[in-house]
Amino acid sequence: MWKFAAVLAILGGYLAADKLAQADELPPAWAYPVNPPDFKPSPDDGQPRHVPDSSLTFSLAQTRDLFFSPDWHPDDHSGMPDIVAHGRKPAVFACGFCHRADGAGGPENAGLAGLPAGYIIQQMADFKNGARKSAVPDRVPPRLMIKTATAASDEEVQAAAAYFSALKPRSIIKIVETDTAPETVVAGWFLADSNSGKKAPIGSRIIEVPEDLAQFENRDARSRFIAYVPIGSVKKGEMLAAKGTAGSATQCPACHGAGLTGIGDVPGLAGRSPSYIVRQLYDFKHGARTGSGSELMKPVADWLTLEDMINLAAYAASLPP
């Protein structure tokens, strides 16, 4: 009799996890912004671009060149390898173009500064072999990563990984708990404040926007962001990280370290873009991200609701990196 009861309990667990997976089946649009079909970047006015606290200038064409990394603050980091600064035509894009010269990244992609070199190398392999994709295939950032990873040589990947892993991550995200958030527009695979003055209920969302849109669009690695999150989400996320869910008692610090700053080749989560964290949890749960680490992450993600993901992301993003 006890064996039958045990089987029922196991089946009940699988059914419960499956029910959770179906509850938030559609990827949340706020976490996966997609440029509208009629999206057009602003035209070039011919004026040189400037950013705060830099005497350098770049043209608009340079800030949009996939094979050029605008380095507004070269004293902030060591010399970039050529693969980071310029990539290699025709298909290996400059790592620093998307991830910024010092690896700060943005809401649309990963911050690379301080990530373990072994982890970066493995993720490039996962992009290359098809194990790491996006739950929203239309998004350009992961498509660029797949193309770059497929074309990059082992030596180029190793050079980029060594460079970014040696950089110190900075705290660039301000977490604001609120019941409303600014009205936003999709400004290039990320959200931006529409500056309309209008607000909407935050609901079950994280609204992450650049503090200075022009500065971020000019690829300035010193850009900062505001992430509006539901009231109480940081504390709920802290409790969830410490205790796990009812279905998975795995505690986040067991793998990601005290303060979620990482252990060995396991990446740190502290201070990361909360939009990015939600995307990764969702991708693990729904099978878009497999490969290295997925055998540990998917059983945990399977038990997370979208609200859980929001709470964990808000908490992790609030921590110092």
pLDDT in tens, the chain (321 residues): 433 333 333 334 444 444 444 455 799 999 999 999 999 899 999 999 999 999 999 999 999 999 999 999 999 999 999 999 999 999 999 999 999 999 999 999 999 999 999 999 999 999 999 999 999 999 999 999 999 999 999 999 999 999 999 999 999 999 999 999 999 999 999 999 999 999 999 999 999 999 999 999 999 999 999 999 999 999 999 999 999 987 777 899 999 999 999 999 999 999 999 999 999 999 999 999 999 889 999 999 999 999 999 999 999 999 999
Q: How far apart are the first and last CA of the chain?
A: 51
Q: Which residue has the tokens 């057009």?
A: 40
| Residue 49 forms part of a structural domain | no
Q: Are residues 188 and 293 in the same domain?
A: yes
| Residue 21 forms part of a structural domain | no
| Residue 208 forms part of a structural domain | yes
Q: Are residues 184 and 105 in the same domain?
A: no
The answer to whether the beta carbons of residues 98 and 144 sit under 8 Å apart is yes
| Residue 38 forms part of a structural domain | no
DSSP characters for 137-172?
TT-HHHHHHHHHHHH--HHHHHHHHHHHHTSPP---
Cα atoms in the 13 Å half-sphere on the side-chain side of 243: 10
Contacts by 287-290, CB closer than 8 A, 24 or more apart: 288/132, 288/133, 288/134, 288/135, 289/126, 289/131, 289/132, 289/133, 290/126, 290/131, 290/132
Predicted pLDDT of residue 292 = 86
Number of domains in the chain: 2
- Give start and end residues of each alpha helix (H) in 24-153: 60-63, 82-85, 95-99, 117-129, 140-151
Q: Are residues 123 and 147 in the same domain?
A: yes
| Residue 121 forms part of a structural domain | yes
| Residue 7 forms part of a structural domain | no
DSSP characters for 197-225?
--EEE--S--EEEESSHHHHHTT-TT--E
Q: Are residues 151 and 268 in the same domain?
A: no
Q: Are residues 253 and 137 in the same domain?
A: no
**Residue 6 exposed, middle or buried by CB count within 10 Å (0-12, 13-18, 19+):** exposed
pTM attached to this predicted model = 0.92
Among candidate residues 122, 140, 165, the one where a domain is terminated: 165
Identity (one letter) of the amino acid at 75? D
Q: Are residues 135 and 193 in the same domain?
A: no
Q: Are residues 190 and 314 in the same domain?
A: yes
Among candidate residues 131, 149, 165, the one where a domain is terminated: 165
Q: Are residues 186 and 265 in the same domain?
A: yes
Q: Are residues 105 and 220 in the same domain?
A: no
Which tokens in the block code for residue 268? Answer: 């740190």
Q: Are residues 132 and 190 in the same domain?
A: no
φ/ψ region of 294 (left if φ > 0, alpha if ψ in -120 to 50, else beta) reads alpha
Predicted pLDDT of residue 24 = 57
**Separation between Cα atoms, residue 119 and residue 255, nearest integer Å:** 14
Residue 155 sits in a domain of what CATH number?
A: 1.10.760.10
Q: Are residues 156 and 79 in the same domain?
A: yes
- Give start and end residues of each alpha helix (H) in the chain: 2-23, 60-63, 82-85, 95-99, 117-129, 140-151, 154-165, 213-217, 233-243, 252-256, 274-285, 294-301, 306-318
Q: Which residue has the tokens 């060591």?
A: 78
Bridging pattern class, strands 180-182 and 184-186: unpaired
Predicted pLDDT of residue 167 = 98
Q: Are residues 199 and 310 in the same domain?
A: yes
Distances (CA, A) of 204 to 118, 158, 298, 306: 35, 39, 22, 8
| Residue 26 forms part of a structural domain | no
Among candidate residues 113, 141, 165, the one where a domain is terminated: 165
| Residue 9 forms part of a structural domain | no
Predicted pLDDT of residue 245 = 83
Predicted pLDDT of residue 164 = 98
Predicted pLDDT of residue 144 = 98
**Separation between Cα atoms, residue 182 and residue 195, nearest integer Å:** 8
Range of the domain at 191: 170-318
